[in-house]
Amino acid sequence: MSSAQNIVDFILEQIMDAGTVSAKKMFGEYAIYCNEKVVALVCDDQLFVKPTDAGKAFVGNYTEAPPYPGAKSYLLISGDMWEDHEWLTKLIKITASELPLPKRKSPRPRKG
């Protein structure tokens, strides 16, 4: 099942103060970016935040679950916590600060 665009839009609106945030659709689900880093996934209309030590400490009592079969476990953030703009923004900021910048891909040589 794919996630609804309005769910992703709501999450982006809630975390817009975390930095430069965006979403990219992937196979019917979404990756959430903050400052060029993938910080979360939205799968089956559920929010999964990448686990970091600081993020786990901030959340406290957390549930981990894989966003899709075969995936590593992420922090599953319950829908009622999405309403807390400040809390969710802080979690995303903490998570982004703990993650490395993505590696730049080398340009492919041109054919011909």
Predicted pLDDT of residue 112: 61
Contact between 49 and 64 under an 8 Å Cβ cutoff? The reply is no
Q: Which residue has the higher pLDDT, 102 or 44?
A: 44
Predicted pLDDT of residue 1: 61
Write down the H helix ranges in the chain.
Answer: 5-14, 53-59, 79-82, 85-98
For each of the domains in the chain, give its residue range(s) and CATH number, in order of start. Answer: 5-98 (3.30.1460.30)
Answer whether 0.85 is exceeded by the pTM.
yes
Cα 18 to Cα 35: distance, rounded to the nearest angstrom:
9
Model pLDDT for residues 6-39, shown as the tens digit of each residue = 999 999 999 999 999 999 998 889 999 999 999 9
